[in-house]
């Protein structure tokens, strides 16, 4: 009976709640750092440092946070599976678009400062992450959204798709942590308090990634 009614799925588990909390705290801390300690955020500013600040903001709030939310969409959106799947792809697309803008901001900063591009481990990990993320999104879109693959193929590919998403998320977190560590190292001697504030921000970014991953892998059991 009730076969004509759509099936709805459970919303957030305790793990997803903790993940949301860590994500929001990391964004708040990042904004405090950029607006209080740094010069602010403005992509079109003539001040190169304000242009640069767009980069960490969009890579954390835009890329990492939206990616994590997309991964948890199946656990947090009380809706049919088709709606959850659509939100999963949409949030990932938003993350990718904001991530690209964030990377453009740092290249613009380098041009304004006449600094060489791709000169650190952080930048290598970051470019690798955004490239793999784009490939992962296209793969998921053509496999699961346009109904081009058979049901058996989708089931066979799903573990690889899930694992790939988790790997890319941790690559993004790793990129963010190396970037903040690089910045904190520059600040350590003259601005120890600010450097310590960055360390707290990095910890909550890491915790967000950890609890997103736990939510994806263990939410069925908690």
pTM: 0.88
pLDDT score, position 11: 52
Q: Of 58, 55, 39, which Cα lies nearest the Cα of 47?
A: 39
CA dihedral 86, 91, 93, 97 (to 10 degrees): 160
Q: Which CATH class, in words, describes the domain spanning 14-221? A: mainly alpha
pLDDT score, position 220: 57
- Sorted by where each begins, the domain ranges of the chain are 14-221
pLDDT tens, position by position, for the chain (222 residues)? 334 444 545 556 788 889 999 999 999 999 999 999 888 999 999 999 999 999 999 999 999 999 999 999 887 777 788 888 899 999 999 999 999 999 999 999 999 999 899 989 999 999 999 999 999 999 989 888 887 678 888 888 888 998 999 999 999 999 999 999 888 887 664 577 888 889 899 999 999 999 999 988 876 555
Q: Of 25, 59, 23, which Cα lies nearest the Cα of 180?
A: 59
pLDDT score, position 204: 97
Give the long-range contacts of residues 104-107, CB within 8 A, separation 24 or more. Answer: 105/43, 105/51, 105/52, 105/54, 105/55, 105/58, 106/52, 106/55
């Amino acid at each position: 009976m009730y076969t004509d009614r759509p099936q709805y799925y459970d919303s957030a588990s305790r793990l997803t709640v903790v993940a949301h909390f860590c994500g929001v705290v990391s964004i708040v801390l990042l904004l405090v750092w950029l607006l209080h300690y740094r010069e602010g955020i403005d992509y079109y500013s003539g001040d190169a440092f304000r242009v640069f600040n767009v980069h960490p903001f969009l890579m954390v709030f835009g890329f990492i946070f939206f990616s994590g939310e997309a991964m948890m969409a199946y656990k947090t959106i009380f809706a049919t599976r088709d709606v959850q799947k659509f939100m999963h792809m949409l949030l990932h697309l938003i993350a990718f678009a904001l991530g690209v803008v964030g990377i453009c901001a740092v290249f613009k900063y380098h041009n304004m400062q006449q600094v060489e591009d791709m000169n650190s481990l952080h930048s290598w990990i970051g470019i690798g992450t955004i490239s793999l993320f784009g490939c992962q999104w296209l793969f998921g879109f053509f496999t699961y959204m346009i109904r081009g693959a058979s049901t058996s193929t989708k089931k066979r590919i799903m573990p690889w798709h899930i694992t790939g998403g988790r790997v890319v998320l941790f690559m993004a977190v790793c990129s963010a942590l190396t970037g903040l560590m690089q910045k904190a190292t520059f600040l350590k001697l003259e601005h120890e308090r600010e450097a310590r504030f960055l360390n707290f921000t990095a910890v909550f970014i890491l915790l967000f990634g950890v609890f997103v991953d736990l939510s994806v892998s263990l939410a069925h059991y908690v």
